[in-house]
Copies of this chain bind each other. A is one copy, B any other.
Amino acid sequence: MSGRGRLASGQPTIADVARHAGVAVSTVSYVLSGKRAISEVTRSRVLASIRVLGYHPNAGARALASRRANVIALVLPLRSGIHVPVVMQFATAVVTSARRHEHDVLLLTSDEGPEGLRRIAAGALVDGVLVMDVELHDVRVPLLRQLGRPSVLIGLPADTCELTCVDLDFHRAGQLCVEHLAGLGHRRVALLGAPAAVYDRGTGFAHRTRAGVIEAAARHRVDAVTLPCEENASDVHHRVVGLFARHPDISALIVQNEAAVGPMQAALAALGRRVPDDVSVVAVCPDQFAEHASPRLTCVPVPAEEIGRQAVSLVMGKLRDEPVPEVTLLPPRLAVRDSTSRPGH
Contacts and interface: CB of A to CB of B under 8 A. Distances in A.
Interface of A: 9-11, 54, 56-64, 67, 69, 71, 74, 76, 78, 84-85, 87-88, 91-92, 95-96, 99, 104-109, 111-112, 116, 118-120, 122-125, 148, 231-234, 237, 262-263, 265-266, 269, 292-294
Contacts of A262: 262-263, 266
Contacts of A148: 9-10
18 contacts: A54-B122, A60-B63, A60-B124, A84-B85, A92-B109, A96-B109, A99-B116, A104-B120, A104-B125, A105-B106, A105-B107, A106-B107, A233-B292, A233-B293, A233-B294, A262-B266, A265-B266, A269-B269
Given A64-B61, A107-B95, A109-B95, A56 B119 contact: yes
B232 A56 contact: no
Contacts of A122: 11, 54, 56
Given A76-B92, A88-B84, A92-B109, A59 B266 contact: no
Contacts of A109: 92, 95-96
A325 to B, nearest CB: 25
Given A232-B294, A262-B262, 7 more contacts: A56-B123, A58-B64, A74-B107, A92-B109, A95-B107, A99-B116, A232-B293
